[in-house]
């Protein structure tokens, strides 16, 4: 009897552990991308260096988010630990993806006054309280 191919072995290992179908789909996706990145070289022939190169490529060249990079790492670790039975040494040289900084959007005083001018009387007091008008703009001034 022939041994199943690598991706089929991975699917079987995922299903035995009762992971969700979405996790299976994601892991298979990232394992395929890892193999294709290294020109279809079998993962058994690769090691820490290739894993670090792939994960660093995702962060540096592809600009993926930290959660995406972690998902790819989880898939690759699953492949090595549960399918190939290989323990990878700690991955120290991976360039980690940096989280995107999001600045809060703040309206200027003129923009807030314009917003107040275009809302109905029933919403005006609630909006003024939400925007912390502190009486600087009287409800009577906007009517």
Per-residue pLDDT tens digits of the chain, which is 143 residues long: 677 899 999 999 999 999 999 999 999 999 999 999 999 999 999 988 899 999 999 999 999 999 999 999 999 999 999 999 988 777 767 777 777 777 777 778 888 888 888 888 888 888 888 777 655 555 555 44
User: Does residue 120 sit within a domain?
Assistant: yes
Domain match, 15 and 73 both: yes
Dihedral-angle region of residue 132 (phi above 0 means left; psi in -120 to 50 means alpha; beta otherwise): left
Cβ contacts of residue 24 below 8 Å, gap of 6+?
Answer: 11, 14, 15
Is pTM beyond 0.95? Reply is no
* Alpha-carbon span 40 to 8, nearest angstrom: 16
Q: What per-residue confidence (pLDDT) applies to 61? A: 94
Q: What per-residue confidence (pLDDT) applies to 104? A: 74
User: Does residue 98 sit within a domain?
Assistant: no
Dig out the tokens for 94 from the structure. Answer: 């991976």
Domain match, 73 and 119 both: no
Measuring CA to CA, which residue among 67, 82, 68 is closest to residue 10?
Answer: 82
Measuring CA to CA, which residue among 80, 10, 12 is closest to residue 45?
Answer: 80
Domain closes at, from 67, 83, 99: 83
- Domain around 113: 109-142
Domain match, 60 and 116 both: no
* Alpha-carbon span 75 to 24, nearest angstrom: 9
User: Does residue 99 sit within a domain?
Assistant: no
User: Does residue 128 sit within a domain?
Assistant: yes
User: Does residue 89 sit within a domain?
Assistant: no
User: Does residue 88 sit within a domain?
Assistant: no
**CA dihedral defined by 113, 117, 120, 123, rounded to 10 degrees?**
0
Domain match, 22 and 58 both: yes
Whether the CB-CB separation of 97 and 69 falls below 8 Å is answered with: yes
């Amino acid at each position: 009897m022939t041994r199943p191919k690598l991706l089929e072995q991975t699917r079987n290992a995922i299903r035995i552990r009762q992971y969700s179908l979405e996790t299976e789909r994601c892991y298979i996706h990232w394992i395929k991308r890892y193999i294709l990145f290294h020109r279809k070289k079998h993962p058994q022939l690769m090691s820490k260096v290739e894993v670090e190169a792939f994960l660093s490529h995702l962060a540096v060249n592809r600009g993926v988010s930290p959660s995406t990079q972690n998902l790819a790492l989880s898939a690759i670790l699953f492949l090595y630990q549960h399918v190939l039975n290989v323990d990878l040494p700690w991955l120290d040289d991976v360039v980690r993806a940096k989280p995107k900084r999001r600045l809060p959007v703040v309206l200027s005083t003129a923009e807030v006054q314009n917003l107040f001018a275009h809302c109905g009387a029933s919403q005006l007091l609630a909006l003024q309280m939400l925007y912390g008008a502190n009486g600087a703009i009287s409800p009577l001034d906007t009517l």
